[in-house]
Amino acid sequence: MKALITRPVATMIVVFARAMTAVRAIWPESGLPKQPCIYFANHSSHGDFILVWAVLPPWIRSRTRPVAGAEYWLATKLKRFIGQDVFNAVLIERDKDKRTGDPIVRMAEALDGGSSLILFPEGTRNETEEPLLPFRSGLFNLATLRPEIDLVPVWIDNLNRVMPKGEIVPIPLICTVTFGSAIRILPYESREAFLERSRAALLALSPKVAGAAA
């Protein structure tokens, strides 16, 4: 019965996201991985994972799960329905004292089950003037646990202007979602080296950084 409701709601969310942002996806020449992977993106708006999710081809979207905060998505019945049933999100308790399991293991289990993940290595929304905050350790820990998994950098541009902080109604603007070439953790690569390399791969997709380097 729920499937009869979730599918139309998912379609409505995709149509609304695309209508409000006129989003354009930019794909790498190699295309997207055909196997489960980890999409790691910059984080500046509450709508980030929705936009990444919305631009994926339907056959990939159907098996792609965002990683999101349980406290937010379990707060009300409506949020619970959208987070659990529509997005099938991997919900993580941010408060370590309230966790009932290891979040990295839960993400690895989702990958093992054939799902791809959308996650944000900065760990929180970037509300600074810096293009990208330092990465936290989660991406490294997950890559170490599943070194055979492709990690795809994804740069979301302009969405922070569509959904500025404190606003409820989105402002229609054109957004882009740029997918980079997949990387993997290297044997014996240190946490610092891996996170810096991953961060550099993501930053290279930013129009501002790419324009400055040109």
Q: What would the pLDDT profile of 6-33 be if each residue is shown by its tens digit?
A: 888 988 988 888 887 788 899 998 888 8
Mean pLDDT of the chain, nearest integer = 86
Q: Model-level pTM?
A: 0.89
* Arithmetic mean of pLDDT, 71-84: 89
DSSP H helices in the chain = 2-21, 48-55, 58-61, 70-73, 77-80, 103-112, 138-145, 159-162, 191-203, 207-213
Query: Of how many residues is the chain composed?
Result: 214
pLDDT tens digit sequence for 121-154:
998 887 778 889 999 999 999 999 999 999 999 9
Instruction: Pick 127 or 199 by higher pLDDT.
Output: 199
Instruction: Pick 151 or 94 by higher pLDDT.
Output: 151
- Which H/E stretch holds residue 152? strand 150-157
Q: Which of 63, 67, 74, 141 has its CA nearest to residue 105?
A: 141
With contact defined as beta carbons under 8 Å apart, do 36 and 63 qualify?
A: yes
Contacts of 76 (CB under 8 A, 6+ apart): none
> Backbone phi, then psi, for 145, in 5-degree steps?
-75, -30
Q: Which of 106, 109, 112, 70 has its CA nearest to residue 87?
A: 70
Q: Which of 34-38, 89-93, 129-133 has the lowest mean pLDDT?
A: 129-133
Q: What is the pLDDT at residue 159? A: 56
Instruction: Pick 61 or 130 by higher pLDDT.
Output: 61
Which domains are present in the chain?
2-213 (3.40.1130.10)
